[in-house]
Amino acid sequence: MQRFDLSRRAFVQKAAALTGALALLTKSAAEEAGAADKPLIAYVGTFSSPLRDTLPTQVDLPPGNGRGVHLFQADRASGQLTPIGVQEMGTSPSCLALNHDGTRLYSANETDRIGDDKQGSVSAFAINRANGALQLLNTVPSGGAGPTYVSVHPNRRFLLVANYFGGSVAVLPILPDGRLGDATDIKHDAGKIGPTKATHAPPGSFAFSGHDRTHAHMIQADPSGRFVLHVDLGLDQIFVWKFDEERGVLSPNVPPAVGLPAGDGPRHFHFHPNGRWLYSIQEEGSTIVLFDYNGEAGRLAARQTISTLPPGFAGSNFCSEILVSADGQFVYAGNRLHDSIGIFSVGPAGELTYVDEAWTRGNYPRSFSFDPTGRLLYCCNQRGDNIAAFAVDRTSGALNFTGQYTPVGNPSSIVFLDLAAAK
């Protein structure tokens, strides 16, 4: 990537693009003046282990510099994040999920044990709709060590949990008041562990992260809610489960899983808005795989594999997040160590074409999210202890840095709540 030593012409071009993008943001924000009367809240999950001297709760390096769930008010025009509070937690709430009406927040607390209990936990919070403040409702066991992902099922009655270090997934009931109940189902991954060398590793790569045992990394229902998918990085598989929406129980689909190339390590996936295409990102192989998805049968069929990195790249890289834009025109892929977000256009049949990349302005981009309008993208640079904001060019897909940095210790995830939106 050409990050520095820009020519004068390139500098002028980039400055002009940024100025134009910010002008569009300002105009759009002005058009939404009514919404500006109520704040846009950002919740940031972090790796936070202030108790690490007495309680070994930290399971990701470096040791947690965060303080729990950090709260910010987001400026709808500039992208600036202003701190407004912290929900103090020493258990690394590394992944956050909002319920559908924006009244509850759930956190996966990525610990390998709490006291003598060798599993992590999940917390539920009530949200004050006037100012976004959080109130802890309860905390329950996650069904395995190191919960790294939570998502709310479309029927709004269950929370799905992936336990990375436990190699398991769990279903937790959401009670009428938003608290969490004990798991209605826990499934443990099993199978042959993939090799330490990824099939699609870039030349010279020494990337190795999760092929030592089973590692459930993400879990989410398909758009219909009839099926639940989860990835196991160590097994190089995406599992598909039939979901009993009354009892909150998972049962294997036929077939029960689809394999990825050996050692590539599937990490996250994202459905296209049409529900027929699924994009999976591989942590160690540095690839995106396009799957056709049959929603009637819950079946996946791989159709394209493309590198997340620019042509000619050599060396080590760990992929992280993958997002499809709301209009379905672009896919964004996170690269750690390369510290970039790869930008891909979506063709008429879902196939991807590499467009460009954006430097994340920080070390180890763990995740990123769009604001509710899709005009801004916020990148959590975990080891850079900052969040960088980018203006999204929704015509070209380009990401233009706004100049807005927000200091946060080891940010891991960011989600948005628009208090101007109806409940």
Q: Report which residue type is found at 172.
A: L
Is the pLDDT reported for residue 17 higher than 60?
no
53-62, 90-99, 270-279 — which is least confidently predicted?
A: 53-62
The encoded tokens of residue 313 equal 């790249």
Is the pLDDT reported for residue 59 higher than 50?
no
105/22: higher pLDDT: 105
Per-residue pLDDT band at 380 (split at 50, 70, 90): very high
Per-residue pLDDT band at 33 (split at 50, 70, 90): very low
Q: Looking at residues 342-369, what average pLDDT do you find? A: 98
Query: What whole-number percentage of the chain has pLDDT above 90?
Result: 83
Is the pLDDT reported for residue 28 higher than 60?
no
7-21, 173-187, 264-278 — which is least confidently predicted?
A: 7-21
Note the pLDDT of residue 194: 97
pLDDT tens-place string over residues 298-354: 999 999 999 999 999 999 999 999 999 999 999 999 999 999 999 999 999 999 999
β-partners of residue 150 are 161
- Of 104, 136, 139, the residue nearest 120 (C-alpha): 139
Could you tell me if 375 and 394 are in contact, meaning their C-beta atoms sit under 8 angstroms apart? yes
Per-residue pLDDT band at 111 (split at 50, 70, 90): confident
Note the pLDDT of residue 49: 77
Note the pLDDT of residue 16: 52
Per-residue pLDDT band at 113 (split at 50, 70, 90): confident
Is the pLDDT reported for residue 115 higher than 90?
no
Could you tell me if 173 and 139 are in contact, meaning their C-beta atoms sit under 8 angstroms apart? no
Note the pLDDT of residue 19: 54
Note the pLDDT of residue 8: 41
- Of 101, 120, 229, 117, the residue nearest 166 (C-alpha): 120
**CA pair distance 107, 68, nearest whole angstrom:** 10
Distances (CA, A) of 57 to 67, 74, 88, 393: 13, 30, 15, 40
Per-residue pLDDT band at 25 (split at 50, 70, 90): low
Per-residue pLDDT band at 64 (split at 50, 70, 90): confident
pTM of structure: 0.90
Note the pLDDT of residue 80: 98
Note the pLDDT of residue 52: 47
Q: Is the peptide bond before 62 cis (omega within 30 degrees of 0)?
A: yes
Q: Looking at residues 1-27, what average pLDDT do you find? A: 48
pLDDT tens-place string over residues 207-245: 888 999 999 999 999 999 999 999 999 999 999 999 999
Could you tell me if 361 and 368 are in contact, meaning their C-beta atoms sit under 8 angstroms apart? no
Mean pLDDT (the chain, rounded)? 91
